[in-house]
C-alpha cells in the first residue's frame, strides 16, 4: 500500500476544520478527524449512536443508516438538541458558577408548565415532577463539573440522544440585554460546533463503518477475508449491513420505548424552551480509507453483541467497551501501516501485539514482564509515527501527543486493559469484564467454538495473545525471533481458562476439548 493510500480520506469532501488544522496536527493527519483526549467512554458510544440515528439530510431522511449523501456538498447530519429535557433533568445538579439567572428562571417556569399538564392536587403534581426528574437524572451518562447543557444522557434510547451544546457563559455575562430565555435560546449563546466533549470520536467510528459499506468488495477486504484466520467473517459479510442497522435500530427505538415516549412528551410540553434558531447541521470529518479493515472487525463485533439475548443495558455496556477498544485498535492499525520498522505477525492483519498477563501476576514473572514490554513497544510505535508526520516548525507537538499518543494510555487505563493507573510497571492485562467482552464480541450468540479457535480469533481481531501459536508469535514480536518459542513454552495461560470458567463461558467436553460459548 502506497503512502498516499494509507492516508487517503473518506469521505473525500469531509470537514477539514478551520485553518486546515488537519494539515498541521500529525495526529489528525494520521488517524482522521478526530480522536480527542477529553471524550469519555460513554460519549464515544453516545456520539456514535447519535450519528447513526440522526437524519443525514435536511429533509429528515437518512436516519438509522450508514449511507452518506452523494452530492457535492460537505456530508453532514442533523442531530437533536434535547435542550428542554436537559434543562428539566440536569439544571439542579449542574455547576453553580454557570447557572445564569435566565436559566434559573426558565427552569422554575418549566417546572410550573409541567405541573399544569399533570392532573391531581398540588402535592401530587410536585411529587410527579420530582419522580420524573429523578428518573431522567438517573440516566446521566456524564455529569462531572459541567454546565447543565453539556451533560450527556446514557444512550439507552433514541429519545435521550442529544448533540453537544456549550453555554458561552463569559459572553452571556457581558450582555446586559440578556434578560429572558427567548433572548438566550439561540446558537449565539448555546454553541453547537465546539466538539469539546462529543469531540468527533464517535463520529469517526461511525465513518469507519460507513466507509466499509461504501465499498464492501474492496481489495483490502478481499485480502483480509482470504486469510484462514478470518474465514468466520466471510460467511456473514453479505448480510452484515442489513443486520447491523436492524439491531441498532431495535435497541434505540424498541427496547426502552416507554422511556423515549416520556422524553418526547416532556420535550413537547416544554417546546417554548427549545432553541428557536434554524436547525444547524454537524459536518462530518473524515477517516483514512484504509480503516475499512478495522471497520469490518468493528461492525462484525457490534453485530454479535447486538444480536444476542442480553438485556439492553448489558448490550450498551459491552458496546461502550467495544467503542473504546476500537479506538485503541484503530490507533495501532494505522500506526503499523505507516511504520514498517516492526516485524509482521502471522495470524493477525494488524501486525502488532498486546501481550496480556494475569491481573494477579507477581512482580518479576515472565508473562508480567512480557506484558510490560509489549505495552512499551506499542507506546514507542505510536510516538514514532507522530514524529514522522510532524511538519517542521508547524503545529503543536504537545497537541499531537495528547490526541494521538497519550490517548492510547488514557483509554486503555479507563477500561482496565492497562494497569496500574499510576506508577511503574504498566502492562496489558485482562480482567473478568474484558474477557466477557471478548467472548460476546467474537463469538456469535448461536455459536460454540473450541478454546484454541477462540484464542486464534482474539489474536486475529485485536492482536491479544492468550496462548498457543499466537503467544509464540507475540512473544517473538516483543523480544526476538530466537527467544519467542522458548518463552511461549514456559509461559502458563491457565489463568485465562480459569477466568473463562468462572465467567460461565467455558464448557469442558473432555480433558482435551473445551468450548467457548457466547454469554447471551
Residues 406 and 443 in one domain: yes
Residues 299 and 246 in one domain: yes
Number of domains in the chain: 3
CA triple 98-102-105, angle to 5 deg: 110
Confidence of residue 500 (pLDDT cuts 50, 70, 90): very high
Residues 233 and 359 in one domain: no
Q: Which residue has the higher pLDDT, 438 or 514?
A: 438
The predicted structure's pLDDT at residue 342? 83
Contacts of 488 (CB under 8 A, 6+ apart): 471, 472, 475
Q: Is residue 218 assigned to a domain?
A: yes
Residues 33 and 71 in one domain: yes
3-class secondary-structure state, position 36 = coil
% the chain with pLDDT above 90: 71
* Residue after which a domain boundary falls, among 141, 170, 191: 191
Residues 54 and 109 in one domain: no
Q: Which residues on adjacent β-strands are paired with residue 429?
A: 357
The predicted structure's pLDDT at residue 478? 85
Instruction: Identify whether the C-beta of residue 298 lies closer than 8 Å to the C-beta of residue 208.
Output: yes
Looking at residues 86-90, what average pLDDT do you find? 97
Asked if the model's pLDDT at residue 394 lies above 70, the reply is no
The predicted structure's pLDDT at residue 343? 87
Q: Give residue-wise pLDDT tens across range 281-300.
A: 999 999 999 999 999 999 99
Q: Give residue-wise pLDDT tens across range 237-278.
A: 889 999 999 999 999 987 788 999 999 999 999 999 999 888
Residues 98 and 173 in one domain: yes
> Which residue from 288, 315, 290, 289 is spatially nearest to 303, judged by alpha carbons?
315
Residues 106 and 224 in one domain: no
3-class secondary-structure state, position 78 = strand
Q: Is residue 471 assigned to a domain?
A: yes
**C-alpha grid cell, residue 40:** 469519555
Q: Give residue-wise pLDDT tens across range 64-76.
A: 999 998 776 889 9
End-to-end, the C-alpha distance of the chain in Å comes to: 39
The predicted structure's pLDDT at residue 19? 46
3-class secondary-structure state, position 315 = helix
> Which residue from 321, 355, 323, 311 is spatially nearest to 439, judged by alpha carbons?
321
d(CA 157, CA 142): 16
Range of the domain at 180: 83-191
| DSSP assignment of 488-516 | HHH---HHHHHHHHHTT-EEESSSS-EEE
Asked if the model's pLDDT at residue 489 lies above 60, the reply is no
**Chain-wide mean pLDDT for the chain?**
90
Looking at residues 313-327, what average pLDDT do you find? 97
Q: Which residues on adjacent β-strands are paired with residue 78?
A: 55
Amino acid at each position: 500500500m502506497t503512502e498516499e493510500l494509507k492516508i487517503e480520506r473518506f469521505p473525500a469532501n469531509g470537514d477539514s476544520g478551520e485553518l486546515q488544522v488537519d494539515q498541521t496536527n500529525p495526529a489528525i493527519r494520521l488517524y482522521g478527524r478526530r480522536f480527542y483526549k477529553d471524550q469519555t467512554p460513554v460519549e464515544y458510544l453516545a456520539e456514535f449512536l447519535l450519528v447513526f440515528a440522526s437524519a443525514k439530510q435536511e429533509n429528515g431522511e437518512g436516519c438509522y443508516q450508514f449511507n452518506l449523501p452523494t452530492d457535492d456538498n460537505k456530508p453532514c447530519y442533523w442531530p437533536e438538541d434535547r435542550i428542554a429535557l436537559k434543562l428539566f433533568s440536569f439544571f439542579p445538579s449542574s455547576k453553580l458558577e454557570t447557572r445564569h439567572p435566565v436559566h434559573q428562571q426558565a427552569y422554575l417556569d418549566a417546572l410550573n408548565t409541567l405541573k399544569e399538564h399533570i392532573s391531581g392536587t398540588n402535592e401530587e403534581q410536585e411529587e410527579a415532577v420530582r419522580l420524573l426528574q429523578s428518573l431522567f437524572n438517573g440516566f446521566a451518562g456524564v455529569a462531572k463539573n459541567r454546565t447543565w447543557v453539556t451533560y450527556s444522557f446514557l444512550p439507552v434510547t433514541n429519545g435521550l440522544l442529544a448533540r453537544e451544546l456549550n453555554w458561552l457563559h463569559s459572553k452571556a455575562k457581558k450582555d446586559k440585554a440578556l434578560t429572558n430565555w427567548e433572548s438566550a435560546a439561540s446558537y449565539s449563546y448555546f454553541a453547537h460546533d465546539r466538539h469539546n466533549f462529543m469531540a468527533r470520536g464517535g463520529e469517526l467510528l461511525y465513518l469507519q463503518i460507513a466507509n466499509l459499506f461504501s465499498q464492501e468488495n474492496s481489495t483490502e477486504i478481499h485480502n483480509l477475508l482470504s486469510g484462514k484466520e478470518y474465514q468466520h467473517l466471510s460467511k456473514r459479510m453479505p448480510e452484515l449491513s442489513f443486520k447491523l442497522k436492524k439491531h441498532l435500530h431495535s435497541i434505540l427505538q424498541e427496547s426502552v420505548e416507554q422511556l423515549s415516549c416520556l422524553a418526547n412528551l416532556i420535550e413537547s410540553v416544554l417546546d417554548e424552551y427549545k432553541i428557536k434558531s434554524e436547525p444547524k447541521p454537524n459536518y462530518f470529518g473524515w477517516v483514512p480509507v484504509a480503516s475499512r479493515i478495522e471497520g469490518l472487525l468493528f461492525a462484525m463485533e457490534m453485530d454479535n453483541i447486538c444480536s444476542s439475548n442480553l438485556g439492553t443495558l448489558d448490550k450498551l455496556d459491552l458496546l461502550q467497551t467495544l467503542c473504546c477498544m476500537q479506538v485503541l485498535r484503530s490507533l495501532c492499525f494505522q500506526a503499523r501501516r505507516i511504520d514498517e520498522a516492526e516485524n509482521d505477525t502471522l495470524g493477525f492483519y494488524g501486525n502488532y501485539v498486546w501481550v496480556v498477563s494475569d491481573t494477579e501476576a507477581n512482580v518479576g514473572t515472565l508473562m508480567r514482564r512480557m506484558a510490560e514490554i509489549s505495552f512499551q513497544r506499542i507506546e514507542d510505535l505510536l510516538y514514532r509515527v507522530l514524529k514522522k508526520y510532524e511538519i517542521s516548525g508547524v503545529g503543536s507537538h504537545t497537541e499531537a501527543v495528547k490526541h494521538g499518543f497519550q490517548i492510547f494510555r488514557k483509554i486503555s487505563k479507563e477500561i482496565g486493559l492497562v494497569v496500574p493507573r499510576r506508577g511503574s510497571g504498566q502492562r496489558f492485562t485482562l480482567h473478568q469484564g474484558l474477557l466477557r467482552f471478548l467472548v460476546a464480541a467474537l463469538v456469535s450468540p448461536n455459536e460454540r467454538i473450541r478454546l484454541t479457535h477462540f484464542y486464534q480469533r482474539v489474536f486475529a481481531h485485536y492482536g491479544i495473545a492468550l496462548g498457543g501459536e499466537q503467544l509464540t508469535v507475540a512473544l517473538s514480536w516483543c523480544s526476538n525471533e530466537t527467544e519467542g518459542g522458548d518463552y511461549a513454552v514456559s509461559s502458563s495461560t491457565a489463568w485465562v481458562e480459569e477466568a473463562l470458567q468462572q465467567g460461565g463461558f467455558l464448557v469442558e467436553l473432555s480433558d482435551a476439548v473445551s468450548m467457548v460459548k457466547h454469554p447471551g
